[in-house]
Amino acid sequence: MHNLGNNGTGLARRLGLLAATMTGLGVIIGSGIYVIIGAATKQAGNAIWLSFLFAALGASLTALSYARLGRLRPKNAPEYQFVNMAFGKRLAFLAGWLILLAQIVSASAVALGFAGYLHALLNVPELPAAIVLILFSCLILYVGITQSATLAIILTLTEISGLLIIIVIGLPHLGQVSYTEMPAGFMGTLSAASLVFFAYLGFEGMANLSEEMKEPEKNLPRAILLALGLSTVFYVLVAISAVSVVGWERLSQSSAPLAVVAEQALGSNAGLVLSLISLAATANTVLILLLSGSRILHAMSCSKVLPGALCVVSKKRNTPWLAIIVVGIVSSLFASFRSVQQVAEFTNFITLLAFIGVNASAIRLLNQSTAHSSYKYIILNRVVPIMGIFVSAWLAVNTGMKAAIFGGIIIIVGFLIYWLTNSVLRKSN
């Protein structure tokens, strides 16, 4: 019998601080710099590094809310848990549903990024390659959390090595371009920030490992802040190096942007190496996003706000096998959109709506949980989450009309599922 800790869910507590931080860092880095930087430079130009800083600021506000709320309730499907504590089950379902779809759609976007690198390398058709990656990742997740986390750590170290290569490549070229060149002006740089916000998604998914984490009350907040801080340093340095070597115009036209940087500086062999590292990075992100999505689906099903049939865990593997199958199938369907930028915008919009709910929950719950009235606690319990709400709302508005329409459809579908699930429960009782 496996050691299940005290979570009572059938999921085993095997992840320490290092494993949790590396898992979070892997999904954050892989989902952004290797995929979205090319599209973002169309709007921000050489000032793309500034867009990453703006996005980091917005992400850090909500990350602080996640970190502090995680101490109160370290359980999977944190958006559902936090909003349920603050505002009740109906709004909690909406927050959990939005972030569930965001994880699944994000996996589709990054799988398309993987397929773009593979197509550039071997001329493999992109859609089948993306779907194969998604299904293979689901197989790894079924095998077990220890195996999944070990593979994620190995791939994370691989993708970090790729970023270090780009940073070193850029050192001799520093100062050769204007780092404030903005083809669409300052508003274009801000608009790019709403796009590269996608690059920071993943910190919220770390909370979906709470029930498989050792001492989550202590390790979860530390892991979130460590992963977000380290990824920001890497993003800014890589962005500066990339535009220094090839300039924003060429970077924006490539489906394998970092490979272009390496090839320009060191020749075709270096481009091949970066393409292989990029494949590892994007594959890692797909694996972790599907891991997070399956845990959200499992937790919400066990809370009886999604069909309870999905609340099953393999006795042999201690993994939620049916939830893994479902997220894999749905993610494969979303991959048919084929546009990384469009899927990223969809993901950003629905994630940002959930972030608004988490920050609102932080305002209510954190003020109830502490009697401190010092400036420190006023800033942490009120000012930070209020700013998180405004920044999330502003970024959501800047994702565009198509993303908003998609978000509206997702909300309607979610409430239909919620209504049907409640109807079935009432009849069974």
Give residue for tokens 């000032």. 47
pLDDT at 230: 92
DSSP string, 81-138: HHHHHHH-HHHHHHHHHHHHHHHHHHHHHHHHHHHHHHHHHH---HHHHHHHHHHHHH
Task: Tell me which DSSP letter residue 314 carries.
Answer: -
pLDDT at 261: 87
pLDDT at 411: 92
pLDDT at 277: 85
Rounded Cα distance, 208 and 259, in Å: 32
Give buried/exposed letters for 107-143 (b at 16+ CB in 10 A, else e). bbbbbbbbbbbbebbeeeebeebbbbbbeebbebbbe
pLDDT at 4: 37
Rounded Cα distance, 241 and 244, in Å: 5
pLDDT at 105: 84
pLDDT profile of the chain (429 residues), mean per 10: 44 77 78 75 92 90 86 80 92 92 86 86 90 96 87 87 90 90 89 83 77 80 88 92 91 81 82 83 87 90 89 89 95 80 79 93 81 67 91 85 90 90 78
SS3 call for 406: helix
pLDDT at 3: 36
Domains and CATH numbers, the chain: 17-421 (1.20.1740.10)
The two structure tokens encoding residue 290? 């599907």
Rounded Cα distance, 249 and 45, in Å: 7
Rounded Cα distance, 334 and 111, in Å: 10
